Amino acid sequence: MAGRQLACFITKRTGSRSLTDDPQRSGPPLLEVRDLNVRFGARGRSGEVTAVRGLSFSIAPGEILGLIGESGSGKTTVARAVMGLVRSATGSIRLQGREMLGLSERELRKVRRRLHLIFQDPYDSLHPGMRIREIVEEAMKIHRTGDRAHRTATVSAALEDVGLTPSSRFIERYPYQLSGGQRQRVAIARAMVLDPALVLADEPTSMLDLSLRSGILEILKRHRDTSGTGYLFITHDLALARHLCDRIAVMFGGKLVELGPTEAVITNPLHPYTKLLLQAVEELAPPAPQEPGGYRVSYPSGRVKECCATIDPELQEIAPGHYVACDQDDRSIPDKSLLEKEE
Amino acid sequence: MSGALLGRIGAATLTLFVVAAVFAPVLAPYDPTLRTAQPFESPSLAHPLGANDVGQDILSELIFASRLSLTVGIVTACLATVLGVTVGVVSGYLRGPVDGVLMRGVDVILSLPFLPLMIVLTAFLGQNTTNLILVIGLLIWARPARLLRSQVLSVRESGHVQAARAMGATHGYIMVRHILPRITPLVAAQFVRTANVSIMLEASLAFLGLSDPFQKSWGAILFYANARSAFLADAWLWWVLPPGLCIAAVVVSFAFLGYALEERVDPRLRSTRPEGETLKDAETPAPVGGGALQ
Amino acid sequence: MSTLLEVRGLNTVYRTPAETVRAVDGVDLTVERGEILGVVGESGSGKTTLVMSLMRLIKPPGRILKGGEMLLDGEDLFRLPRSEMPARRGQDLALIPQSAMHALNPVIPVDRQIAEGISVHQGVGRKAAMRTARERLREVGILPERHNAYPHELSGGMRQRCIIAMAIANEPKLVIADEPVSGLDVVVQARILRLISELKESRGLSMILVSHDLPTVAKICDRIMVMYAGRIVETGKARAVLDKPLHPYTRALVEAIPQMRGPRQPLQPIPGDPPDLHNLPPGCNFRPRCPAAFVDCKMVDPSLEEAERGRKAACLLYHKENRK
């Protein structure tokens, strides 16, 4: 397997430091994902879909890693796999050094105390028949922490933290009495009460109005700063990621194609897909007719390399901490060419 | 007529019957087990509905019979609903092999011919009220189970269930705290419907003479009336019609109630999105332009 | 340029026994020929009601109040009998609805769906209609071999292209697009927007583009109207509105946009909650969230007035008596 050899080679080259660590940080990672694969459907049958292929990354304590990708790129599957909600995941997921794949349902439930997943749709993720207090304290009840007084105090504090002040105004309400922005704040407050080590946020702002998005981002950022919680922030919006994240990982077709410090990825994108994303945000993207199942058509026609269609290039370190999965020698495609019309 | 009005009519009628059943000893003019009139006596002021073949007052019999009919209906409905909810929730939430086994069981029960089977079972087990309730209850839980399961299948995909899972909640906790409250309105409607069905089935069985000979229900009154050829004489007017009307009235008011319940869903559980404009879920009209005329 | 659409005094209310909600409150707007007018507003701004009002698709308890005018090429569509509207929709006015996923019939190939509309509106034969339909599909960038695909065989972006082809099928005078790119991936969004601006160049398309996403809209619109709580609070050329927003709400919106260039600055969230049309404050609707509010804002409901050349704002700061 050529890919495996290449991976070995890279590990050797980068020495003892693991493949995707941020060189700026020392100490053990909070979350370490190695060679994660997720398949859906019966193995070997025609319905089998590989949602995630050979994904490796890590998150340091207190770090916000942005996971960027379009719908269908597998980014939500990654979050679900980390939560232990996907049975068919293989590879390795270590939280604070402890392997999570292969744990029994019982053990997983205990581990989930240190994790929290924030969902995209605040209209769907809060139980319509529960009061805000019940919703926020639910995790504490599930894990039997604190007495009633302690729980109530924690809920009030969490609500105030996310800007639902005074908390007494919200605590006895039902979700339907709250606006979308307020609901998402409730969902974040719920994430905070057990003081998790890692929060996974799956497009937490994509259903919200622009004027409310920035408020949610600031809350997440402040929470990270005060609690030292690590974040996996999943989004399709590069501008949001740039604002919030320390590092950015770009996914395409279930694979990580680029990983690096936020500013490095934004100012010097290496993978053609990252470039395309950037252009789409900054200007209008090339009007290439789409073909299902590939980003090849997005490339300027002469530059499509066979490698992308046939073999899976491995991540290589190009600059310190900046990795890209692209075997093209000439990665420096002038930006202009991406905008050219393809006929 | 609006669902709310129908519901109110149903509830009022039912209350009337329940009151009659509870206060039967006070309301009934005679003890229905005693001979208080001539056999086959025609209606008079003293006996508004006349007397049966052994001289028991039919009105008193009717009032006391409501006790058995309603009890069988409600107890059976409780039994069937508890079974149906348990199977429906467990099956819909856990899915997989458990679901497969339970639903095949439901299929089997749904495909059984009810009446012949019940006749055989009651005849075999012995004619008493407990057996009657068990037999009816064990046969009619399948339909609510199937219905509730489909609702559970959609509720289990909602975000708050996923969120609870991600918080480390156990399956039992999720089923009780997250799934059950969301299907309560449907459960209530199914309860009413099962009560309805069981009253009908009890009446049918009793009419065929398969009820406890020492306790009379409306169906049993009909059985005796039939056995004494009341259908052929004038007596059908006061011996057959009243119990028949009672059964019909209770069944119809249960149906009204069920209708109202199905229509009126707990407002807290109604669609929780704000009405009118939202970002992505506003009503989607068909594209106007190329499409066919609207 | 000449004026294609002129709407004056449009009021749409939702009347229930308990209350009357003004979802669109005295809106005036014009669209020039070959122009894209962007309408920007967030939840509760009344933008979807505005779209439905312009299509005359408001259903009870909603109602368009009498006294408003909608002149399309000089003809007042609000005065037409209701029965004549279906023929006008599609021929004069076309709508690109919010969700492309559900707007296509799943059991009919896309070219036939479009052809159906053409033959109904133009009274041409099946073959001719099919030819036109395929031409439109080519125009929006669908490869010929995909023309007879069923909607589920197409990606989200391609379905959106089909919807656009359907909208332009009968060469309507005006196309109204309600959130045409929300829910699509960024790259696809950018391509669809580019397609729209290309169609504008090639066919002189006139369009009202409604969206909650100010930066996206600004990319392809000529002019922008910002709506808040059923009112228009600012109008102006797209670039100018983005570069120098006048109304405090627009300014707050622009400041809340995360930027791709320049230093990372903390984003400024807009304080408070989105407007609740059931319970609007006295005076200016935006006052409770406005950093620049002063005493008068509580009393006076500001009208939309010219603030600069070609710019209007509904804010007391720009009313003549307050300007220095």
pLDDT tens readout for residues B33-90: 888 888 778 888 888 888 888 888 889 989 999 998 899 999 999 999 999 999 999 9
For residue C39, the cross-strand partners are C210, C225
On whether the pTM is more than 0.90, the answer is no
Burial A219-249 (b: 16+ CB within 10 A, else e): bbbebbeeeebbbbbbbbbbbbbbbbbbbbb
Both tokens of C167, joined, read 């909208």
CA distance C152 to chain A (A): 12
Chain C residue nearest residue A339, CA to CA:
C191
For residue B142, the number of C-alpha atoms closer than 13 Å in the C-beta half-sphere is: 17
Chain centroid, CA B118 distance in Å: 17
Binning pLDDT at 50, 70 and 90, where does residue A311 land? low
Q: Locate the chain B residue with the closest alpha carbon to C48.
A: B277
Q: Look up residue B288 and give its DSSP letter.
A: B
SS3 category, A253: coil
Residues of A with CB below 8 A from C194's CB?
284-285, 287
Instruction: Give the closest residue to A122 by CA, choosing from A174, A201, A181.
Output: A181
Least confident of A129-133, B289-293, C97-101, C190-194: B289-293
For A179-204, write each residue's pLDDT tens digit: 888 899 999 999 999 899 999 999 99
Q: Cα separation of C258 and A244, whole Å?
A: 10
Joined tokens for residue A32: 């370490």
Cβ of residue B277 closer than 8 Å to a chain A Cβ: no
pLDDT, residue A43, reads: 60
Sequence-distant (6+) residues with CB within 8 A of A307 are A313, A327, A328
Domain spans of chain A? 2-329
For A115, the closest chain B residue by CA position comes to B167
Query: Which of A5-19, A163-177, C193-207, C293-307 shows the lowest mean pLDDT across its residues?
Result: A5-19
Distance (Å, rounded) from C-alpha C55 to C-alpha A315? 52
Shortest distance between the Cα of A329 and any Cα of chain C, in A, equals 25
Q: Residue A58: how many CB atoms within 10 A of its CB?
A: 23
Helices then strands, each counted (H, E), chain C: 10, 13
Residue C66 to residues B180, C13, C70, C78, C93, Cα–Cα distance (Å): 49, 11, 11, 9, 21
Report the topology of domain A2-329: Rossmann fold (3.40.50)
Q: Is B145 strand, coil or helix? A: helix
Asked whether B17 and B249 are in contact (CB, 8 A), the reply is: yes
CA atoms within 13 A on the CB side of C96: 29
Bridge partner list, C174: C93
pLDDT at residue A86 tops 60: yes
Q: Label residue A68 by pLDDT band (50, 70, 90).
A: very high
Cα A214 to Cα C259: distance, rounded to the nearest angstrom: 12
| Confidence at B268, pLDDT banded by 50, 70, 90 | very low
Tell whether C272 lies on the interface with A, counting CB pairs under 8 A: no
In chain B, the percentage of residues whose pLDDT exceeds 70 is: 88
Chain C contact present for A160, CB below 8 A: no
Residue ranges of chain C with per-residue pLDDT less than 70: 1, 100-101, 321-324
d(CA C16, CA A336): 56
Q: Is the pLDDT confidence value at A308 over 60? A: no
Angle at C257 between CA A201 and CA C315, to 5 degrees: 130
Q: What's the CA gap between B193 and B196, in Å, rounded? A: 5
The answer to whether A214 contacts chain C (CB < 8 Å) is: yes
Minimal-distance CA residue of chain B relative to C93: B289
Q: How many CB pairs under 8 A join B and C?
A: 97
Picking from B276, B282, B288, the nearest residue to C98 by CB comes out as: B282
Domains in chain B, CATH or no CATH each: 3-23+65-265 (1.10.3720.10)
Per-residue pLDDT of B80-131, as tens digits, reads 999 999 999 999 999 889 999 999 999 999 998 888 888 888 888 888 888 8
Distance CA A319, CA A50 (A): 30
Which range scores top for mean pLDDT: A16-25, A51-60, A279-288, B279-288? Answer: A51-60
Show residues of chain C in contact with A239, CB under 8 Å: 257-260
The token duo for C293 is 């509010």
Write b or e for each residue in B228-262: b if 16 or more Cβ atoms lie within 10 A of its Cβ, otherwise e: bebeeeebeebbbebbbebbeebbebbebbbbbbb
| Contact across the interface for A129 and B268, Cβ inside 8 Å | yes
Whether the predicted pLDDT of A11 surpasses 50: no
Interchain pair B168, A116: CB under 8 A? no
Residues B239 and B52 sit within 8 Å (Cβ to Cβ): yes
